[in-house]
Amino acid sequence: MADALILPLGITLVGLVAVRVGIQCVTALRQQARQHEQSQMVRELLRQRIGEATKRQQQNMLAWNGYRKFVIARKVEEACDICSFYLVPHDHKPLPRFRPGQYLTFRLNIPGRDKPTVRCYSISAGPRADLYRVTVKRVCPPRDMPNAPPGLVSSYFHEQLDEGDILDVQAPRGQFFLEPEQERPAVLIAGGVGVTPLLSMAQTIAETDSGREILFFYGVRNGNDHAFKEELEQLTQGHANIRLVVAYSQPTRDDAAREGEAFHHVGRVDIELIKGYLQSTNYEFYICGPAAMMETLNQQLAKWGVATHDIKMEAFGPATVSKALLKPAASDTGTVAEATCTVTFTRSGKTCRWDAGAENLLDFAAANGIRIDSGCRAGNCGTCVIAIKMGRVAYATEHGAELEEGTCLTCIAAPDGDLEIDA
Ligand SMILES: Cc1cc2nc3c(=O)[nH]c(=O)nc-3n(C[C@H](O)[C@H](O)[C@H](O)COP(=O)(O)OP(=O)(O)OC[C@H]3O[C@@H](n4cnc5c(N)ncnc54)[C@H](O)[C@@H]3O)c2cc1C
């Protein structure tokens, strides 16, 4: 009887063990499959990352050190006193990608000048592997000095340079750029020729189908100054995420008939106009234009509650960099420039008491009869770099030019205590 019971019990136990083993096998197989799937995912992720890194490396390798030769392929008038120059590399090799908003630095040998002259011009179009475009406004003498010579380089571009001419150009640089991949909506605010980096940003958004929402304000005096009219309109067509608002501050009689078509508002691009188009302050703001416009908007946006880090500005040089726009000078140590310190120009053998009213070392040197070469005068082109022999400097604004340790950009630097520089 007992034997009769033991046999089926044994069979049942064997069966249970078999089922258990079976379940364990299935679980193990599932785990293996999952692990395989995971390792495939990891492999795919790694493959993607390696691909991206290689692409980045290739792009970086395409950038160049120093100056590269470019040929002017096309010269196009965009508006009154505003000309675009399409530049192709003389070596016909592909160009590195730039970040929309960056600029090119030019070194020009202008007849009658004993040294080359350096100036920066923003790239004014979206990314292309075969050419860059810059757009130059002819600069007139200041209103209160009508007899002063007109802008040297902008006049040279307009009057002397033509298709086929060759230029020395540095690789794209600059910290004023927009990330097309980001999702936060952005407000672009341009005044006059300050439209150039912002047009490049908007075109990049359109051409890469990034989908990032863009509200583009463009202020000019009237229809004669309205550059890139068709290009800007085309941007909005077929890209529901890009909206354009053009304001004429002094429309001509001819313009008046085209309100609503060529332009949308009479007046300047001011905070009230901007607020009228925005639901909140939660945008990134990119501003490039005349000093007065940038100063006012910067203050008004901050007062409205826009976070300081969301307001990004590009100054086109000394004429558009005013003291009010610049942050208080602060050095690496966080201290501000001392008014009582001395600056020693070691090569010239001169020690001078720092003048608290001086804006920067470059002007201070000039006021003391010491000449330092300069270019953009905005901390971007690197022409005015001088070695520091002793002491520290403080910067009034962020600089675009890359700096070696122990050097300073004299056009935007002030001494932070006693200083010795190699000038
Ligand atoms: C990052 C960056 C990007 C830029 N992008 C652009 C751009 O896209 N497009 C653009 O058009 N510009 C751009 N600029 C500005 C450009 O670099 C030049 O500053 C601009 O073209 C003026 O240079 P210029 O040589 O013609 O004038 P300058 O010769 O430097 O003269 C400047 C002013 O000083 C006056 N002046 C000259 N000599 C005297 C004197 N003896 N006494 C009194 N006044 C005098 C001139 O009449 C003129 O009004 C950019 C600048 C920077 C820094």
Residue 378 Cβ inside 6 Å of ligand 1? The answer reads yes
Average pLDDT of every residue of the chain: 86
| pLDDT > 70? residue 26 | no
- CA dist., res. 317 & res. 327, Å (int): 16
* pLDDT reported for residue 417: 94
Q: Which one is the CATH code of 342-421: 3.40.50.40, 1.10.10.410, 3.10.20.30, 3.30.70.1170?
A: 3.10.20.30
Q: What is the CA radius of gyration of the chain?
A: 30
The per-residue pLDDT for range 357-410, each reduced to its tens digit, is: 888 999 899 889 998 988 777 787 788 999 999 999 998 777 767 789 999 999
* pLDDT reported for residue 163: 98
Instruction: Please give the distance, rounded to the nearest whole angstrom, from the Cα atom of residue 101 to the centre of ligand 1.
Output: 18
The per-residue pLDDT for range 159-212, each reduced to its tens digit, is: 999 999 999 999 998 889 999 999 999 999 999 999 999 999 999 999 998 889
Q: Which one is the CATH code of 186-320: 3.40.50.80, 1.40.20.10, 3.40.50.300, 3.30.43.10?
A: 3.40.50.80
pTM: 0.78
* pLDDT reported for residue 337: 47
| pLDDT > 50? residue 334 | no
Burial (0-12, 13-18, 19+ Cβ within 10 Å), 323: exposed
Instruction: Please give the distance, rounded to the nearest whole angstrom, from the Cα atom of residue 415 to the centre of ligand 1.
Output: 26
235 vs 50 pLDDT, higher one: 235
Taking CA atoms only, the protein residue closest to ligand 1 atom 5 is 121
From 154, 158, 374, the mutation candidate for ligand 1 (largest count of ligand atoms within 8 A of CB) is 154
> Which atom of ligand 1 is closest in space to residue 314's alpha carbon?
1
* pLDDT reported for residue 8: 59
Residue 103 Cβ inside 6 Å of ligand 1? The answer reads yes
From 120, 176, 193, 398, the mutation candidate for ligand 1 (largest count of ligand atoms within 8 A of CB) is 120
The per-residue pLDDT for range 115-171, each reduced to its tens digit, is: 889 899 999 999 999 999 999 999 999 899 999 999 999 999 999 999 999 999 999
All structural domains of the chain with their residue ranges: 67-170, 186-320, 342-421
Q: How confident is the model at residue 327 (pLDDT cuts 50, 70, 90)?
A: very low
| pLDDT > 60? residue 13 | no
Tell me the CATH number for domain 67-170.
2.40.30.10
Residue 120 Cβ inside 6 Å of ligand 1? The answer reads yes
